[in-house]
Structure 1
Amino acid sequence: MRVLALSAIAFLAACTGKPSLNDPALSDRELNLEEFFDGTLVAQGQFQDIFGTVRRRFDVTIKGDWNGKRLRLVEDFVYEDGSTEQRIWTLVKTGPETVSQTWRGTAPGVIGEATGIEDGDRFNWRYTIDLPVPAADGTADTVRVTFDDWMWQLSDDRLLNRAYMRRFGVDVGDVTISFEKLK
């Protein structure tokens, strides 16, 4: 009976709506990823499981560098339990300058390449990663998850990110992050 209930919950979670590039734009802003992430940003975020329980919170400082060809992002995470993590992304544009700009990127732990589409005020970024997850005994395991990141530019210095996470094709939760570009 418990397996049936969990299966029903997983099915319902998989049916929830998610953003699409076909959704109407809510602003006339044009996100320029390389411009927005060039410099120093701070962000706060949290991970919630599919039941809505907040499981982890974090602060992150991002140092971005656009050299005209590649965007390098050094992300330094500090979690509520005091643990830290660093992820370094390297992103490059992959398509011609059009309304919808395509990107690809790599980072340690990412399986293959991440791919993204920048369109109007939003950016969709998809990738699979072996994510470090702390164990109860203080060690860390890795869990392979797929991210479907959606970012919306709210103002010249603010960006909202909601990332949907899946494991074995099943929704496991989402991450919400608020970015602020420092002047």
Structure 2
Amino acid sequence: MKKPRLLLLAIALVCSACSAPGIEDYADNTPRFVAEDFFSGPMKAYGLVKDRGGNVTRRFVAEINGSWENGRGQLREKFEFDDGEIQYRTWQLVPADSGTQSVRKYTASAGDVVGTSIMSVAGNAVFMQYTLQVPYKGRTINVNVDDQMFLVAPNVLIAESQLSKWGFNVGEIQLTIVK
């Protein structure tokens, strides 16, 4: 009876060692990300879209303008892709109860996002997961997005987004936002 328990314990330890860091793991990192400060005023973003094999399929530049009123934020984004396509997105950010002192949370929604997402902030990190409606071959498909953003300097935010469909990796986005 001891061997199966030891085996289960060993498997649990190995699996926990391989798990991805949570937002709380970044709580002590600086510079501290404050959504109301960073997401205010004009910003410029530069990014790459990669397919599941890691090949760059598109490049883009985005103009972002953030504003806050009565504690609620709005991010207006205009993406210009290298193939001439232009996309617009407007995020609504509303502070939410975080339940902890080290993690601040906001509800986040946009017109092409299915439902409402939770944006979690701790230290220099911002994590968000949502389902994005993406134009694809003349129709719209839902793609799951797992965003991890890190403030690396007071005016520079670097983001990596993993894209998946039915649990399978379909690509990634790398993005740098400069305030």
Residue in structure 2 matching 1:131, options 129, 134, 157? 134
Change (3 A) 1:118 1:168: same
SS in 2 for 1:29: coil
Change (3 A) 1:86 1:19: farther
Q: What is the rounded CA distance, in whole Å, between the counterparts of 1:22 and 1:35 in structure 2? A: 21
Q: What is the rounded CA distance, in whole Å, between the counterparts of 2:168 and 2:43 in structure 1? A: 32
- The equivalent residue for 1:159 is 157
Gaps of 5+ in 2: 1-17
TM-score for both structures, normalised by structure 1: 0.81
TM-aligned CA deviation for residue 18 of structure 1: 5.1
Q: What is the rounded CA distance, in whole Å, between the counterparts of 2:22 and 2:33 in structure 1? A: 16
- The equivalent residue for 1:149 is 147
Counting only pairs closer than 5 Å after superposition, residues 34-183 of structure 1 correspond to structure 2 as: 34-95=36-97, 98-133=101-136, 135=137, 140-181=138-179
Q: What is the rounded CA distance, in whole Å, between the counterparts of 2:24 and 2:122 in structure 1? A: 10
TM-aligned CA deviation for residue 19 of structure 1: 4.8
Change (3 A) 1:64 1:22: closer
Cα deviation 1:18-67 (Å, max 9, x = unaligned): 55325456843210012101000001101111211111110000010011
Q: Which amino acid aligns with 1:51?
A: G
Cα deviation 1:67-123 (Å, max 9, x = unaligned): 142110100010001110100110111015832001111111211101121011000
Gaps of 5+ in 1: 1-15
Q: What is the rounded CA distance, in whole Å, between the counterparts of 1:18 and 1:144 in structure 2? A: 24
Q: What is the rounded CA distance, in whole Å, between the counterparts of 1:171 and 1:22 in structure 2? A: 25
TM-aligned CA deviation for residue 141 of structure 1: 2.4
SS in 2 for 1:81: coil
SS in 2 for 1:34: helix
- The equivalent residue for 1:13 is none
Q: Which amino acid aligns with 1:20?
A: G
Structure 1 or 2, whichever has the larger Rg, is 2
